[in-house]
Structure 1
Amino acid sequence: MSTIDGLPAHILLVHAVVVLVPLSALLILLVAFWPAARRRLVWPTAILSVVALIFVPLTTEAGEWLEQRVARTPLVSTHTEIGDTMLPWAIAMAVVAMVLLGRHLLGSRRSGGRDAPGAATATGPGTTSGQPGGTVVTVVVGLLAVVVAAGSVFTVYRIGESGARAAWTGQFSQQARVGPP
Structure 2
Amino acid sequence: MDWQYDGIPLHPLLVHLTTVSVPVAALSAIVVAAWPAARRWLAVGAPVIGLVALVSVPLATSSGEWLEHRERETALLERHTHLADGLLPWSIAVFVLLTLWWGWNRFAVPRVTSSGLVRAVAVVGPVLLVTAGIGSLIEVVVIGHAGAVSVWKG
Give the TM-score normalised by structure 2. 0.92
Unaligned 5+ segments in structure 2 are none
Q: How many residues align?
A: 153
Contact 1:25-1:93 at 8 Å conserved across structures: yes
Q: How far apart are 1:6 and its partner, in Å? A: 3.1
Aligned to 1:95: 96
Query: Equivalent residues in 2 for 1:77-116 (5 A)?
Result: 77-107=78-108, 109-110=110-111
Aligned-pair identity (%): 41
Higher helix share goes to which structure?
A: 2
In structure 2, relative to structure 1, the CA distance for the partners of 1:41 and 1:5 (3 Å cut) is farther
Kindly indicate whether residue 61 of structure 2 is the aligned counterpart of residue 60 of structure 1: yes
Aligned to 1:120: none
Higher relative contact order (CA 8 A, sep 6+): 2
Q: How far apart are 1:58 and its partner, in Å? A: 0.7
Name whichever of 22-31 and 153-162 sits farther off. 22-31
- In structure 1, what is the Cα distance between the partners aligned to 2:47 and 2:12? 26
Query: Equivalent residues in 2 for 1:5-16 (5 A)?
Result: 5-16=6-17
Q: How far apart are 1:125 and its partner, in Å? A: 5.1
Aligned to 2:115: 126
Query: Equivalent residues in 2 for 1:1-181 (5 A)?
Result: 1-107=2-108, 109-110=110-111, 126=115, 133-169=117-153
Larger Rg, first or second structure (1 or 2): 1
- In structure 1, what is the Cα distance between the partners aligned to 2:104 and 2:87? 26
Please state whether the residue corresponding to 2:43 is helix, strand or coil: helix
- In structure 1, what is the Cα distance between the partners aligned to 2:16 and 2:46? 19
Give the TM-score normalised by structure 1. 0.79
Unaligned 5+ segments in structure 1 are 112-123, 128-132, 171-181
Q: How far apart are 1:107 and its partner, in Å? A: 4.4
Please state whether the residue corresponding to 1:72 is helix, strand or coil: coil
